[in-house]
Amino acid sequence: MTLHKLALIPGDGIGVDVIDAAMTVLRSAGERFGFGLETETFPWSCAYYLEHGTMMPADGIDTLRGFDAIFLGAVGWPETVPDSVSLHGLLLPIRKAFDQYANIRPHRLLSGVEGPLKAEGFDILCIRENTEGEYSGAGGRVHQGKGNEVAVETSVFTRLGVERILRFGFEQARARRKHLTSVTKSNAQKYSMVFWDEVTRELAAGYPDVTVSHMHIDAMAAKMVMAPQDLDVIVASNLFGDILTDLGAAIQGGLGFAASANISPDRANPSMFEPVHGSAPDIAGRNIANPIAAIWSGAQMLDHLGEGEAAAAVLAAIETATAQGIGIRPGLHSTDEITTAIRAALEA
């Protein structure tokens, strides 16, 4: 029997609730499809920070390196630890250290979920660059607190980084409906975004079967509301992809449905799977968080681990539940009820 070694980082708030829920579903999938999940849980979180002064131990990255995948809940508890500290101490360093450059976020309406738009159906795959761009971390502050204070934060776009994320997007488009939309803001940002557009055109020549559109981020924001059905694969920089995927989550019915995979495509390092939503302190531990985003992310993880059949079954089980109205709106069902319904559908 194949055994997959998973590092679990439930993190903060509802991260704990949804990882718990998702693991019960993934374990059922393992029983049905004949693979095992060996897990080790790491308590790295804001609570851990308050006790140890760091979000994870100094050898945290090395510890994670030995796992087949990382399953993360959510990070952040701004009442006690500033987000700029907690995220730069855990989530963002993992993405960078393991070169998880492709952040894959699917946006579509699950059966039974209505969403806020009139659009009847859409199926968008957002490919977000995940290691550089606006999240490069390059910058600094001088004269703090004085009248002449300066803060600089530099976006970094490398040929390596831009080429590989676009190539990844082209490959995804090729496996889907063969349409790619590259999102920039090259009318205003004349160096980095013009460069991105150029690389898109260069690579497009090698994918004659994929049609390519170029859109500015502002126009894309409108398009995702007005005509999301026209979109297939979207490729965007780190910050643009971040913003568009919260919009994507909104049009698919809310953050409770938005899954995400941080993929390290060459497989030299573990990839990380996490729902798009945050820790939601206001509803943490109350058995009301929607676990679907985490369970869907878990399905992405199974797929990445080579358990494609199990991944498809988990996704089908989610949709069997939502088609029956389970978990389709906040407050309708508890975390446990949604999880139980999905497990039952998986085991049926």
The nearer residue to Mn ion, 185 or 343, going by C-beta atoms, is 185
Q: Structure tokens of 203?
A: 């690579």
| DSSP result, 148-163 | T-EEEEEEE--HHHHH
Residue in 99, 135, 207, 303 annotated catalytic: 135
| Selection from 132, 110, 112, 131 nearest residue 122 by Cα | 110
Does 14 bind ligand IPM (CB under 6 A)? Our answer is no
Query: b/e per residue, 67-78, with b = 16+ CB within 10 A?
Result: bbbbbbbbbbbe
State yes or no: is 242 an active-site residue.
Answer: yes
Residues 298-317 that bind ligand IPM (CB under 6 A): none
The nearer residue to Mn ion, 12 or 242, going by C-beta atoms, is 242
State yes or no: is 266 an active-site residue.
Answer: no
Q: What beta strand segments (E) does the chain contain?
A: 2-11, 35-41, 69-74, 102-108, 123-129, 133-142, 150-156, 179-184, 211-216, 233-236, 261-263, 271-273
The count of chain residues that interact with ligand IPM, using the rule CB under 6 A, is 4
The nearer residue to ligand IPM, 245 or 339, going by C-beta atoms, is 245
Does 242 bind ligand IPM (CB under 6 A)? Our answer is yes
Question: Binder to ligand IPM among 69, 126, 276, 338 (CB under 6 A)?
Answer: 276
The nearer residue to ligand IPM, 297 or 339, going by C-beta atoms, is 297
269 contact partners, CB below 8 Å, separation of at least 6: 65, 97, 98, 99, 100
Residue in 48, 185, 207, 303 annotated catalytic: 185
Which residue shows structure tokens 């989550």? Answer: 249
| Selection from 263, 256, 254, 345 nearest residue 305 by Cα | 263
Nearest approach, Cβ of residue 22 and ligand IPM (Å): 17
Does 242 bind Mn ion (CB under 5 A)? Our answer is yes
Site string for ligand IPM, 69-108 (x = CB under 6 A): ------------------x---x-----------------
Does 247 bind ligand IPM (CB under 6 A)? Our answer is no
With contact defined as beta carbons under 8 Å apart, do 279 and 77 qualify?
A: yes
What's the farthest any 2 CA atoms get from each other in the chain?
Answer: 66
Does 243 bind ligand IPM (CB under 6 A)? Our answer is no
With contact defined as beta carbons under 8 Å apart, do 276 and 258 qualify?
A: yes
Nearest approach, Cβ of residue 92 and ligand IPM (Å): 6
State yes or no: is 135 an active-site residue.
Answer: yes
The count of chain residues that interact with Mn ion, using the rule CB under 5 A, is 1
The total of other beta-carbon atoms located within 10 Å of residue 197's CB is 15
Does 129 bind ligand IPM (CB under 6 A)? Our answer is no
Residues that bind Mn ion (CB under 5 A): 242
Residues that bind ligand IPM (CB under 6 A): 87, 91, 242, 276
List, by residue number, the catalytic residues.
135, 185, 218, 242, 246
